[in-house]
Amino acid sequence: MAKKKIVILPKDQKILSEMGENIKLARLRRRLSAEQVSERANISRPTLIGIEKGAPTVGIGSYLLVLHVLGLENDFLLIAQDDILGRKLQDANISTLKRAPKRSNK
């Protein structure tokens, strides 16, 4: 079975690349080699390189492991913390469906 190709929009790829660069800079500021971080995070060195380049194929768990090694794991909690659109919808009392409607069998 062929692997599905991940399609990332350029804007989103830029975000991943910037996040990877930030992780790399955090590693370098701590004067840790890629080998040390990958060993401590229990991931392969190519996976760490993928994280630092912003590869969309790297699992989110690997990002968390690397952030833990760098002492930045609590930064993960900042993701979607300020959900401006969600709060506006909540304040406007606009109800959203809990799940998608069922498809008809035609």
The per-residue pLDDT of the chain, averaged, comes to 89
H-helix or E-strand spanning residue 67: helix 60-69
- Taking the C-alpha atoms of residue 83 and residue 62, their distance in angstroms, rounded to an integer, is 25
Query: What does the pLDDT look like over 35-83, one tens digit per residue?
Result: 999 999 999 999 999 999 999 999 999 999 999 999 999 998 888 888 8
pLDDT value at position 87? Answer: 83
What pTM was computed for the model?
Answer: 0.77
pLDDT at 95 over 80: no
pLDDT value at position 106? Answer: 63
H-helix or E-strand spanning residue 13: helix 10-29
- Taking the C-alpha atoms of residue 75 and residue 22, their distance in angstroms, rounded to an integer, is 12
CATH class of 10-91: mainly alpha
